[in-house]
């Protein structure tokens, strides 16, 4: 999969991936509200910014936006946080998440400043958890009933990976 920076023109495709609030929160966390819009995307990082606070990646397959992931960057503490990982619905189930995220992880650890990459994922999200474990992420605990979606409460699992634990994708 080809990887490039996400562009403002990708947002329309991205928002079409999530049909309701539950799908949106599963992807992007508890602060999002349905329908997703450009304002909730936050400011796009300035092009060429040497130390941006976020990277926004786009994965391109068959000439369409197939995957997206963001990485928030804490340069002071050397901690990066993977978030808003998603594949276009038509691209799921083909094993594309591992190579896409593997490339994203390589880009994080290519920066000597980063020693830790972390993420949150809801405990029911088996496809995501299997993907993260395959990439070497280690479970670090669960925040029980951390999010309210409709009348349900979801548990949030935390995963982390330290630089020495980085392995090539299996
Ligand atoms: C999470 C996501 C990126 C994973 O990509 P994907 O293409 O669906 O993942 P895959 O089909 O490669 O599946 C990954 C693994 O989970 C398994 N899996 C997938 N769906 C499953 C299910 N319902 N039950 C059990 N296992 C499942 C696959 O067999 C595979 O296992 P393996 O690595 O042992 O072969 C994708 O599902 C997605 O975009 N989901 C919606 C947004 C989202 O939830 N993002 C994550 C936010 S933390």
Tell me the domains of the chain and their CATH numbers.
2-165 (3.40.630.30)
Nearest residue to 131 via CA among 167, 165, 102, 108: 102
Instruction: Report yes or no: 82 and 118 within 8 Å, Cβ to Cβ.
Output: yes
Closest ligand 1 atom number to CA of residue 125 = 44
Nearest residue to 53 via CA among 29, 25, 79: 79
Cα(18) to ligand 1 centroid in Å equals 15
Q: Given ligand 1 and candidates 72, 86, 93, 127, which is best to mutate, with the most ligand atoms within 8 Å of its CB? A: 127
**So what's the pLDDT on residue 156?**
98
Q: What is the pTM assigned to this prediction?
A: 0.94
Q: Tell me the pLDDT tens digit for each residue of 11-46.
A: 999 999 999 999 999 999 999 999 999 999 998 888
**So what's the pLDDT on residue 49?**
86
Report, as ranges of residue numbers, the positions in the chain whose pLDDT lies below 70. 168-170
Closest ligand 1 atom number to CA of residue 119 = 48
Residue nearest to atom 12 of ligand 1 (CA): 95
Cα(129) to ligand 1 centroid in Å equals 7
**So what's the pLDDT on residue 50?**
87
User: How far is the CA of 55 from the CAs of 22, 51, 83, in angstroms?
Assistant: 25, 10, 10
**So what's the pLDDT on residue 168?**
59
- Pocket (CB within 6 angstroms of ligand 1): 26-27, 85-87, 92-97, 121, 125-128, 130-131, 134
Number of Cβ within a 10 Å radius of residue 53:
13
**So what's the pLDDT on residue 169?**
47
């Amino acid at each position: 999969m080809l990887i490039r920076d996400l562009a403002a023109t990708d947002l329309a495709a991205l928002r079409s991936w999530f049909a309701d609030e539950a799908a949106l929160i599963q992807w992007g966390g508890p602060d999002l509200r349905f329908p997703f819009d450009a304002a909730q995307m936050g400011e796009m990082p300035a092009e060429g910014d040497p130390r941006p606070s976020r990277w926004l990646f786009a994965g391109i397959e068959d000439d369409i936006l197939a995957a997206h992931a963001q990485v928030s960057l804490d340069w002071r503490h050397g901690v990066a946080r993977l978030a808003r990982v998603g594949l276009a619905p038509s691209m799921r189930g083909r094993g594309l998440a591992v190579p896409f995220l593997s490339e994203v992880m390589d880009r994080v650890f290519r920066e000597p400043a980063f020693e830790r990459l972390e993420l949150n994922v809801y405990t029911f999200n088996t496809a995501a958890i299997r993907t993260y474990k395959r990439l070497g992420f280690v479970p670090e605990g669960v925040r029980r009933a951390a999010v309210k979606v409709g009348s349900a409460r979801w548990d949030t699992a935390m995963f982390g990976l330290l630089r020495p634990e980085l392995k090539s994708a299996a």
